[in-house]
């Protein structure tokens, strides 16, 4: 068969896309098994804690860094470092958002338990870091004031 170059490239691209999609299915199934779905759809903190497996206890071993005043609630930076041995997961909660659970991270063994991200914060409230270590939940929180255009406080 004598394929023109363009037809050959189209066929090769289609085959490559199909192969990549097929290869990703096991990863999607793994992500679905790990994701705390009940916590992500909860509308309040109690429901979120229930979805995560219980109410966490406060811990000084969690460093939560957020600004005292956020000029733009759409991009509030958060840094979390866990000093707890055996850290397995880190969750970020925004107390007064419609769905408090903003992010969930699985921390592989042997890696530094540190995450840095930006979240949307609807209004002035507590930002909470929940760390799962040794099968137990621990937390740290900090209030962040959200202002409009950097005014107020």
Q: Average pLDDT in the 15-32 region?
A: 65
In the chain, what are the domain boundaries?
1-34, 39-146
Output the pLDDT for position 145.
Answer: 93
- Per-residue pLDDT, averaged over 95-103, amounts to 92
Q: Is the dihedral angle over the CA atoms 31, 35, 43, 127 positive or is it negative? A: negative
Which residues are bridge partners to 131 per DSSP?
Answer: 90, 138
Q: Is 140 left (phi over 0), alpha (psi -120 to 50) or beta?
A: beta
**Two tokens, residue 128:** 């909470």
Q: What 3-state DSSP class applies to 44? A: coil
Is the CATH number 3.40.50.1860 carried by domain 39-146?
A: no
pLDDT (tens digit per residue) in 118-137: 999 988 999 999 999 999 99
- CA neighbor of 115 nearest in space, from 78, 152, 66: 78
- pLDDT band for position 87 (50/70/90)? very high
Kindly state the average pLDDT of the residues 98-126.
92
Q: Is 81 left (phi over 0), alpha (psi -120 to 50) or beta?
A: beta
């Amino acid at each position: 068969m004598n394929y023109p170059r363009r037809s050959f490239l189209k066929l090769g691209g289609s085959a490559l896309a199909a192969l990549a999609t097929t290869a990703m299915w096991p990863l999607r199934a793994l992500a679905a098994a790990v994701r705390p779905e009940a916590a992500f759809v909860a509308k309040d903190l109690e429901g979120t804690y229930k979805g995560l497996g219980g109410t966490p206890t406060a811990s000084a071993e969690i460093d939560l860094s957020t600004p005292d005043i956020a000029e733009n609630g759409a991009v509030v930076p958060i840094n979390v470092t866990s000093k707890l041995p055996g850290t397995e997961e880190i969750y970020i909660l925004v107390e007064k958002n419609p769905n408090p659970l903003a992010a969930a991270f699985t921390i592989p063994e042997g890696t530094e338990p540190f995450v840095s991200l930006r979240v949307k914060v609807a209004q002035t409230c507590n930002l909470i870091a929940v760390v799962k270590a040794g099968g137990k939940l621990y937390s740290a929180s900090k209030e962040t004031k959200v202002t409009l255009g950097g005014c107020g406080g």
